[in-house]
Amino acid sequence: MIRKKRLNLERQNKPQLPVDDGRTIADMDVDGMPWMSKPAGLDLRRRKKRVTEQPEEQRDYFESPLTQRETRRIMASSVIAALIIGLVFIVIIGLFILFAVKVWLR
């Protein structure tokens, strides 16, 4: 009996959790934030679907003006350009370290 009373008292003294009433205090949805924009892949899928649903006259507007070979060549060229730029940065950093060790910190 004493034990039951003690348990009841503990339950009564336990703090009550706040109840969510659904009100918005401050709207945190801001345009341009990553969670507000759609993933890029979804747009492409919808675009392809829309392209196939369009009449023949309007399809040319959505299709790429480049062939697959031209697209690959442009992508390869841009990757090579990025690698060259990275190599230039690495060479400059290496020359600076060499200068610092041989001349500056002598």
Structural domains of the chain, count: 1
Counting beta carbons within 10 angstroms of the beta carbon of residue 45, is it exposed (0 to 12), middle (13 to 18) or buried (19 or more)?
exposed
User: What is the model's pLDDT at position 83?
Assistant: 98
Query: Residues with Cβ < 8 Å from 66, sequence gap 6 or more?
Result: 74
Q: How far apart are CA 91 and CA 94, in angstroms?
A: 5
pLDDT tens readout for residues 34-83? 766 665 555 555 555 555 555 555 555 567 788 899 999 999 999 999 99
Determine, yes or no, domain membership for 48.
no
Q: Is residue 81 part of a domain?
A: yes
> Domain range holding 79?
71-106
Would you say residue 101 lies in a domain?
A: yes
CA separation for the pair 62, 46 (Å, rounded): 12
Asked whether residue 88 is assigned to any structural domain, the reply reads: yes
Q: Which residues contact 36 (CB under 8 A, 6 or more apart)?
A: 29, 30
